[in-house]
Amino acid sequence: MRRAWVNVVYGVLVILILSGVGLLLGGYAAQADELPVLSVTQLQQRLGKPVRRDGQQVIDLQQFQIDLSDESFRRTFYGEIQSSLQTGAASLGLDLSASHILGDLDLARLGLRTPLLGDGLMGLLPDDAQQQFILDRRATDAARRTVSILRGRLSLNDAVVDGHLQAQDTYFLGQLDAHNVVVTGPLTVTLARFLRRVDITAGQLRQPCAFN
């Protein structure tokens, strides 16, 4: 009898957990429908008018539905943001907080690609990043490896990434804020380097993660 009650309680708990997950995912879907869809025109307007936040210039893309499953928009999104983030001597941040991103998000495509053996960017990097470069050159097959450099702060607080979140071979020179982020696909950050504070407290990862 006791085992039967245990089985009943266990079954009820499983149903409640699955129901909760279903409600949660339903809530995310509803939230996405309520957010304005980011258009190319709005993207260009936001890129042209960064806001100052915590003493740093930031591209504000908060609270948008961003459809990266659309190939044409995806190409424009990465190309224009990458160009804006890497133009000029001062670092520029990107805020995607509370946005719902449909499709895969590849953070490496937002940074400046450079050979690990190249010295062209060394003058723009802080001392700790230069030291990390030197260490990685010794530890890996540096001759064949290229990396992506993100100089500014990146915010994904309360964002939903409805796909694969990637950041392979990416150097984050600014802090990464991803409090309460939800990632429904895999998370891949192999050979990523974080030179400043990282906050992923209360984040929800629904599929396997790849770290190295």
Q: What is the pLDDT of residues 183-206, one digit of tens each?
A: 999 999 998 999 999 999 989 998
What is the mean pLDDT of the segment spanning 204-212?
82
CA distance 111 to 22: 35
Q: pLDDT per residue over 99-119, tens digit each?
A: 999 999 999 999 988 888 766
Give the pLDDT confidence score for residue 14 in this predicted structure. 29
> In the predicted model, what is the mean pLDDT of the chain?
83
With a cut of 80, say whether residue 121 has pLDDT above it: no
Among 25-29, 87-91, 92-96, the least confident range: 25-29
Query: Tokens 């946005």 sit at which residue?
Result: 99
Looking at per-residue pLDDT, the higher value among 14 and 70 belongs to 70
Q: Which helix (H) or strand (E) holds 23?
A: helix 2-34
pTM equals 0.81
CA distance 21 to 26: 8
Q: pLDDT per residue over 64-86, tens digit each?
A: 999 999 999 999 999 999 999 88
DSSP 47: H
With a cut of 50, say whether residue 19 has pLDDT above it: no
Q: pLDDT per residue over 35-51, tens digit each?
A: 999 999 999 999 999 99
Query: Residue 120: pLDDT band by 50, 70, 90 thresholds?
Result: low
Query: Residue 89: pLDDT band by 50, 70, 90 thresholds?
Result: low
Burial of 176 (0-12, 13-18, 19+ CB in 10 A): buried
Looking at per-residue pLDDT, the higher value among 139 and 11 belongs to 139
CA distance 50 to 93: 9
Give the pLDDT confidence score for residue 87 in this predicted structure. 77
Instruction: Specify whether the CB–CB gap between 110 and 73 falls below 8 A.
Output: no
Between the alpha carbon of residue 106 and those of residues 95, 187, 188, the distances in Å are: 15, 10, 9
Give the pLDDT confidence score for residue 115 in this predicted structure. 84
Helices (H), ranges, 90-126: none
Q: Starting from the edge strand earliest in sequence, which strands make up the sheet with 160-162, in order?
A: 65-67, 100-102, 160-162, 182-183, 204-205
Instruction: Specify whether the CB–CB gap between 82 and 110 falls below 8 A.
Output: yes
Cα–Cα nearest to 50, from 11, 91, 78, 14: 91
What is the mean pLDDT of the segment spanning 83-96?
85
With a cut of 60, say whether residue 97 has pLDDT above it: yes
